[in-house]
Copies of this chain bind each other. A is one copy, B any other.
Amino acid sequence: MANRIFKSSYVLQKAAAPRSISYSIRRQSIIASKLVFTQYGEPRNVLRKESEELNGVNDKQVLLKMLAAPINPADMNTIQGTYAVKPKLPAVGGNEGVGEIVSVGNNVKNFAVGDRAVPLVNALGTWRSHLIVSEENILKVPKELGLVEAATITVNPTTAFRMLKDFVNLKENDVVIQNGANSTCGQYAIQLCKAWGIKSVNIVRNRQTINDLKLYLKELGADHVLTEEELRQTDLFRSKKLPKPKLALNCVGGKSATELMRQLETGGVIVTYGGMSREPVTVATSALIFKDIRIVGYWMTRWSNENAKSPARFNMYDELIDLMRNGKLRAPVFEFVRFDNFKNALENTLTAKGMAGKKYILQFE
């Protein structure tokens, strides 16, 4: 079952591969469309498709014809006005995506018409047919990269990458434990661990299709997949089959986070990047003092702002793109959605069910 969904997604991706149209609008105008919200609220209520006349690019800008842009949960929260980033209104939805360059300014150095690029700046608004952006704010991605991998590279794989790199110095065969392992970020963490020789122990909620989910995550590279209940009774660490985890990734909170901490090695770090249970993270005084457990959070937006021009950022993208080209890092289950059907996709994202949160990817023609 897992397999079937996964494969069908890939078929979809191929079917939807964009036509490569090169045209220049440097000195002509085009009518673009975009999803705008003028007030915070439920996305399906407040988002409107609007037209906009674009009159060419300035010296250092490029015009991106957007090919694909995902709907991420944080995009929904941004429109609801409940996210930490509150763009000035009116604003365009969407925070990542990939486009093809159809026009370049006279002084653009590093990009040419036909290149593919992803915006590197937060909250530009990617749910639009065309985006004018300065060349310093985009990253070139190879055309042979999967369209979905490219459209979704700046949020989830980067989050997994940095959480695995920046808090604990992990060596081969060290162990990482994570809850919400079937989340988009969790799936990237599984694959990065596999690529780097790190053992991953992956916790998911029990469900009717648990065996399919376990199979799916193991195919991605998970070493162990346990339900929350199985984790409480496991002897994986007690029996020393595995060393205790040095790092825990938490996107659930509450009891699930407590259980991760209980398994951590002395001096271990738990990194929180989500709170799906809506429960806080609670830690016993003794775990802090005597087990030296460290509790931190991670927010990709902050890291990107603080490292906008740092080599670490571009090295990370190089490595992610290499892994994707070599088939070691695949996008999660997804479904393409035509621009005009955006309301259905928003609705489905909010009521997401199923094995592993399916990602809806907007296409603009």
Report A's interface with B, CB cutoff 8 A: 84, 253, 272-275, 280-299, 302
Contacts and interface: CB of A to CB of B under 8 A. Distances in A.
Given A281-B282, A290-B299, 11 more contacts: A84-B286, A272-B288, A273-B289, A275-B284, A275-B285, A280-B285, A283-B295, A289-B297, A292-B296, A294-B295, A295-B296
Nearest to A292: B297
B299 A272 contact: no
A201 B29 CA distance: 60
Interchain residue pairs A-B with the least CB separation, the first 5: A288-B297, A275-B285, A295-B295, A84-B290, A289-B297
Contact of A297 (B275, B280, B293, B296): B293
A257 to B, nearest CB: 9
A287 B272 CA distance: 10
A275 B285 CA distance: 6
9 contacts: A84-B289, A273-B289, A275-B284, A280-B285, A281-B282, A289-B299, A290-B302, A292-B296, A294-B296
Contact of A288 (B281, B282, B284, B292): B281
Q: Which among A84, A281, A293, A297 has the greatest number of chain B C-beta atoms within 10 A?
A: A297
A90 to B, nearest CB: 24
Contacts of A296: 288, 292, 294-295
Contacts of A273: 289
Contacts of A275: 284-286, 289
B280 A283 contact: yes
Nearest to A283: B281
A291 B301 CA distance: 12
Given A290-B84, A296-B294, A282 B285 contact: no
Nearest to A300: B289
Given A273-B289, A289-B272, A297-B292, A282 B284 contact: no
Contacts of A289: 84, 272-275, 297-299
B290 A285 contact: no
Contacts of A302: 290, 292
Contacts of A282: 280-283
Contact of A285 (B281, B286, B291, B292): B281
Contacts of A84: 286, 289-290
Q: Which among A253, A291, A296 has the greatest number of chain B C-beta atoms within 10 A?
A: A296
A159 to B, nearest CB: 11
